[in-house]
Amino acid sequence: MARVAIVTGGTRGIGEAISLALQETGVTVAATYAGDDARAQAFTARTGIAAYKWDVGNFDACQEGCAKVAAEHGEVDIVVNNAGITRDGTILKMSYQDWKEVIDTNLGGCFNMAKAVFPGMRSRKWGRIVNIGSINGQAGQYGQVNYAAAKSGIHGFTKALAQEGAKFNVTVNAIAPGYIDTDMVAAVPADVLEKIVAKIPVGRLGQAGEIARAVTFLCCDSGGFVTGSTLSINGGQHMY
């Protein structure tokens, strides 16, 4: 029987690449999204992957959404916590709401989703959780105290939960992408983007598929000895 995966923020950008890569390995994928109904419908029509709308920052919505996916596709074996938002600004200009929304979605979403699926994974003695962090959670970034804090928190969350899941064959890992060629990065002004690429030793932006292939490895049986790890995929921009 095919494994069942939920990819949050799975209908666009890195999330879409992850959804498609998992589907190609024979996994039944459900992709969540937060806002764009038309884009989600087009994604499902194009890929055959079911899309579910809920806010990962909402605890009850995650409980209900995961239960619905399980009822329609089978118990959830894999969760990729990819959904994330930005509300950039220096701390002098950042509102409490800007802080709270980013923390609730980017970090709180990891807790909410894990809380919904971890008990079942543990009882079935198989599970894979992959949390998408960021180079900016490792190195920090001007004007992103909220985003950097949330993404940094993901790396600690990953290590702690991995210790809880290890003896039950539930692995928990993180990936910290650098600058990836997605719509979000494409919106960066050309002169700023040129400066970003100049700081990447390999001399280019990453591709969403490069993140997705790493996710598929961590989610397969062959990745079962990897847990509590953060894999940096950033073209050498940040090494430590």
Q: Which residues are catalytic?
A: 147
Do the Cβ atoms of 82 and 21 come closer than 8 Å? no
Query: Any bridge partners for residue 51, and if so which?
Result: 31
Q: Give the span between the Cα atoms of 137 and 46, in whole angstroms.
A: 33
The dihedrals phi and psi of 82, each to the nearest 5 degrees, come to -105, -25
For residue 36, give the DSSP letter: -
Place of tokens 């280019």: 204
Can you tell me which residue has the tokens 């980017």?
106
Cα gap 57→112, rounded to integer Å: 7
Collapsing DSSP to helix, strand or coil, 86 comes out as: coil
Q: How far is 221 from 227, CA to CA, in rounded Å? A: 12
What sign has the CA pseudo-torsion 91, 99, 178, 115?
positive
Decide if 49 contacts 43 (C-beta within 8 A). yes
Instruction: For residue 45, give both structure tokens.
Output: 């029509």
Residues 6 or more apart from 159 whose CB is under 8 A from it? 228
Beta bridge partner(s), residue 177: 233
